[in-house]
Structure 1
């Protein structure tokens, strides 16, 4: 067995039968639900428990992240939407029209994460427009986190069902 075969046996381009794919999927959704608009969610809990400086820190970090997110959306939003739409179209066509399993796996991560990105921009716009602070800000961040977790649960469930379907119909290599 040569080096090339060893590497591809370890990586296994059949995504749904590969443990690494499922580890990456879990890590992506865990990270997405922990970092609400790029702010670690433990800061929200700390601000609710301690108030004072913790509350001020949360508001400062959220203001910085919201301003940055909205700046990127306003300056580069059209270009980003165009490139993301092209990439998602390519993944969806390759995956579900042409049957490329790796593209299916990437699409099942990228499509819901795109929805989370749009939700994040919408939440940032609401926070900036209403100039939320204190309890209202924490409530809005908590609702955003809950929405991300629901999207993640539905996504993981659908990905698991699709992955099991692929493994049953195509078969797992080596068995």
Structure 2
């Protein structure tokens, strides 16, 4: 067997039957819901529980991260939008038109993250416009985290259903 065949036998390119894909999927959604606007969720809990300096730290971190995200969107938003649209379009076409399973997995991972990113930019704009203090900021972060978790649950469910379908239809010996 040649080197190329050995590598692809060890590293299974069938994403939906690969344990590493599911670990990455779980880790990505765990990280996406752990940091909302760049603020770790334990910091939100501490600010809600203790108030005082913890709330001031939360407000400052949220403001800094919101301003940073908006600056990046203003400076490179057009280029990043074009790049992301191109990559997701390519993954969509390769995955579902040409039936490349790796591209299907990338699309099912990337598209929901794009939705979360757009919602995060909207939340950053709200922080910039004035929802950066006290209870208003805590409500914004809580709502954004719940929406992120809902998108993640739907994305994991859809990915799992599509992955099971692919594994059942194609079987273990496809390719």
Per-residue CA deviation, residues 38-92 of structure 1 (Å, 9 max, x unaligned), is 2111100000001111111111111110000000111111111111111111010
User: Pairwise mapping of residues 149-164 of structure 1 onto structure 2 (< 5 A)?
Assistant: 149-164=149-164
Residue 105 (structure 1) shift: 0.4
Q: Distance in 1 between the 2:72 and 2:46 partners? A: 28
Per-residue CA deviation, residues 85-131 of structure 1 (Å, 9 max, x unaligned), is 11111010000001100000000000000011101000110111124
Residue 4 (structure 1) shift: 4.4
TM score, norm. by length of structure 1: 0.95
Q: Distance in 2 between the 1:67 and 1:45 partners? A: 22
TM score, norm. by length of structure 2: 0.95
Whether 1:25 aligns to 2:25 is yes
Query: Is 2:29–2:152's contact at 8 Å kept on the other side of the alignment?
Result: yes
Instruction: Name the structure 2 match of 1:66.
Output: 66
Q: Distance in 2 between the 1:9 and 1:130 partners? A: 54
Instruction: Name the structure 1 match of 2:36.
Output: 36
Instruction: Name the structure 2 match of 1:120.
Output: 120
Residue 6 (structure 1) shift: 4.2
User: Pairwise mapping of residues 137-156 of structure 1 onto structure 2 (< 5 A)?
Assistant: 137-156=137-156
Whether 1:104 aligns to 2:110 is no
Greater shift in the superposed pair: 3-12 or 90-99: 3-12
Q: Distance in 2 between the 1:86 and 1:172 partners? A: 31
How large is the Cα RMSD of the aligned pairs? 1.4
User: Would you say how many aligned residue pairs link Structure 1 and Structure 2?
Assistant: 174
Per-residue CA deviation, residues 112-165 of structure 1 (Å, 9 max, x unaligned), is 000111010001101111242111101100000000000000000000000000
5+ unaligned residues in a row in structure 2: which ranges? none
Whether 1:94 aligns to 2:97 is no
